[in-house]
Amino acid sequence: MSVSGSRSEEAVKEFPPLLVKDIPASLDPQKPEVLFRILDNLIAVIKDSSGVIINTFEELEHSDLASLREVLSVPFFPIGPSHKFCVTSPSSSSQAEDRNCISWLDKQLPKSVIYVSFGSLAATSEAEMLEIALGLADSEQPFLWVVRSGSVCDPGWLEKSPSRFLKALEGRGKIVKWAPQKEVLAHPAVGAFWTHSGWNSTLESISEGVPMLCMPRFADQGVNARYVSDVWRIGVHLNGGLERENIARAIKRMLAEREGEEIRERALVLKEKASVSVRQGGPSYQAVDALVSHILSFK
């Protein structure tokens, strides 16, 4: 997502810690009244509801949840990470998962791999693919890259890729059309996740203690990424644009420098809190019980 003009880096004083560029692209930052109208409508719907189910957990967003409960005066049920309640939770995509990537990960060193996946919707231009490919090559780190069918404007991009990327791919990389993401993120070889910052991916990464390199595209992704980098401090933004030098520098920062270790330590703390939340007696477990009781009370 991009916001034109010099205001993109300005803070949105009504919604800290957001910047103007974090606001969904469909909303014009020059016309905040549009955003306020949407929020007013949303608040009206919530106040008229019997309760709100949220895929988050209390320890992750305690202050925000407390504010919502105080202002809106309806029950909130933070039952997340919801995928942790499912023994085999289905993929959010219709793409077939390539499980060969797991055996490839088995051969990599612990915390050495950058996992790259931009979700099931966004498309990538030929120029962007080139910068990503060369950034991965220049990072000198092992990489697992999900390139979804139909996500690339030029289907022949790989054959046209520079030789140094193809050499890196042969030596320390793997490309798949789709991956079993939750299993990948739980693998000990994965050290960081380059993500579009969709909420499901964000919560799955938090649940496994994997630091994130954020590249939001649209919708709520800018907001999610800002919380990852500035509030929870378990990841960084890909600053400076989608250019090979920035990509390589950011990956090294995450996987080969002290800053990455500090980010990982904070991510592991949140992983434990997420795990505790869904155990029997944990906050999310209790929220599910409370939700069931709340629904049954309407009989």
Residues 6+ apart with CB under 8 A from 178: 91, 93, 95, 96, 97, 98, 146, 148
Q: What is the dihedral of CA 274, 278, 284, 290, to 10 degrees?
A: 180
Exposed, middle or buried: residue 294 (CB in 10 Å: 0-12, 13-18, 19+)? middle
Looking at the predicted structure, is the pLDDT value of residue 76 above 70? Answer: yes
* Confidence category of residue 2, pLDDT binned at 50, 70, 90: very low
Q: Over 60: is that where the pLDDT of 90 sits?
A: no
**42 against 14, higher pLDDT:** 42
Query: Quick one: average pLDDT of 82-89?
Result: 78
Q: Give me the residue spans of the domains in the chain.
A: 100-276
Left if phi > 0, otherwise alpha if psi is -120 to 50, otherwise beta: which for 197?
left
Q: What is the mean pLDDT of residues 96-124?
A: 91
Q: How far apart are CA 220 and CA 20, in angstroms?
A: 13
151 — pLDDT class (breaks 50, 70, 90): confident
Confidence (pLDDT) at 217: 85
**Predicted pLDDT at 157:** 82
Answer with the residue of higher pLDDT: 125 or 31.
125
Confidence class of residue 1 from pLDDT cuts 50, 70 and 90?
very low
Residue-level pLDDT at 3: 44
Does the pLDDT of residue 4 top 50, yes or no? no
pLDDT tens track for 235-254 = 999 877 889 999 999 999 99
Distance CA 170, CA 189 (A): 18
Q: Burial of 93 by CB count in 10 Å (0-12 exposed, 13-18 middle, 19+ buried)?
A: middle
- Residue 290: pLDDT band (50, 70, 90) is very high
Higher pLDDT, 234 or 19: 234
Residue 26 has pLDDT above 80, yes or no: no
Sort strands 76-78 and 235-237 into parallel, antiparallel or unpaired. Answer: unpaired
What mean pLDDT do residues 161-165 have?
91
Of 127, 128, 124, 131, whose CA–CA distance to 149 is shortest? 124
pLDDT score at 89: 53
At residue 91, the pLDDT reads: 55
**187: which DSSP letter?**
S
- Tell me, rounded to whole angstroms, the distance of Cα 166 from its chain centroid: 27
% of the chain exceeding 90 in pLDDT: 68
Span 122-144, pLDDT tens digits: 778 888 989 999 999 999 999 99
Which pLDDT does position 28 carry in this prediction? 59
Residue of 15 and 76 predicted with greater confidence: 76
CB 155 within 8 A of CB 183: no
Mean per-residue pLDDT over the chain, rounded: 89
Q: Give the pLDDT mean for 269-274.
A: 98
Q: What kind of architecture, by CATH, is found in domain 100-276?
A: 3-Layer(aba) Sandwich (3.40)
- Model pLDDT, residue 29: 55
- Per-residue pLDDT tens over the stretch 179-228: 999 999 999 999 999 999 999 999 999 999 999 999 998 888 999 999 99
